[in-house]
Amino acid sequence: MHKINVKLAGGETATYYYAWRGKGAPRIMAKPGSKAFTQEYLRLIRDRPEKKAEVGTIGSVVEDFRATAKYRALAASTRRDYERMFSVIRLEFDTFPISAVEARGSRRVFLEWRDTMKDAPRSADMHLGLLARVFAWAKDNEIILRNPLERVERLHEGSRRDAVWTTEQINKVLNEAHPHIRDVASMALWTMQRQADLLTMPTLAFDGDRVSIKQQKTGARVRISAAPDILPILRRAREKGRQRVLVNSFGQNWTSNGFRASWRKEMARLGIEGVTFHDLRGTAITYAYAMLDRSHEEKIQLIAEISGHSRDEAETVIRRHYLAGHEIIDAISRGRSK
């Protein structure tokens, strides 16, 4: 970024910021220090050829991390999110020396940077968490001797456990939503899968009885018996010879951005607030736990098999992120006959 002081006609001095130094560099019009300023800077440099980071800096470590086979094997959606966060990290720390990362006091520098984003605590934790992951990789590869971001306490401690769709909201979507939205919601409720895995599910995954899925995020392979409610969706996709099970209103494959826009518009039309599409996964898990006539251990095992969690992590992950509180579970159990 290039900053210059300009003397105006009235005698005052103004400071102008440009996305980079040199001829043709675009000026950043947003207020310096604001979120809009950062977003405008990132937008302006997005299509500019990336400048090679200086060796021995955080920028060079980030470049090395991005070149690893493990990073390249991440799901495309995950890499997109990481690339966006790397842009913010490099905006602040691109030339920060590796020797300073190892020095006493560096942890405080990074935490103070994280705290500048405290108005969005979850996002702040994600940015710092990604930087911590880069440092952990660098330490494992003996690029640095100390990771200053080990065991950092999070700003955001919330979960979506209590963001469970009500039966009224579910019925509204399943009965009143447009067919292309209703089908996605039905598949989410009856398979407990993530949005990306649902939208890209190939029709060949259905063998007439079960659906086989390889999850993009975890790589886990799950086989799910097709519930009667989603059999018509799966059979219709096969009869029409579609590449994917779920399509938009034009009969074309969904894009992630297209689906999110359509989902937001439909939720507004139906007047559904306070819950997200991702909450359908937690809702399905909560309802399954409440209504299965099994022991706690058996319930967790069955839910883990369908959702793609390993048995070892299922108890912690499901309870922390998905399973609603006992009051909600008891209410669902009492109304199971409905």
Mean pLDDT by 10 residues, the chain (338 residues): 86 88 84 86 75 88 95 84 90 93 95 92 92 96 94 76 84 96 95 92 93 83 88 95 95 92 96 92 83 81 76 64 59 53
Q: Residue 181 has what pLDDT? A: 97
The owner of tokens 């940077």 is 113
- Nearest by Cα to 215 from 199, 231, 233: 199
The owner of tokens 């002081």 is 5
What's the one-letter identity of residue 117? M
Q: Residue 111 has what pLDDT? A: 95
pTM of the prediction?
A: 0.63
Q: How far apart are CA 277 and CA 14, in angstroms?
A: 46
List of residues 6+ apart from 242 with CB closer than 8 A:
203, 251
- Output the CA–CA distances (angstroms, integers) from residue 300 to 11, 78, 196, 198, in the order listed: 71, 27, 23, 22
Using left for φ > 0, alpha for ψ between -120 and 50, and beta otherwise, residue 18 falls in beta
List of residues 6+ apart from 311 with CB closer than 8 A:
300, 301, 304
* 262 token code pair: 């359509």
Q: Residue 338 has what pLDDT? A: 44
Question: Taking a C-beta distance cutoff of 8 angstroms, is the pair 266, 178 a contact?
Answer: yes
Q: Residue 187 has what pLDDT? A: 95
- Output the CA–CA distances (angstroms, integers) from residue 179 to 41, 188, 226, 247, in the order listed: 40, 14, 19, 10
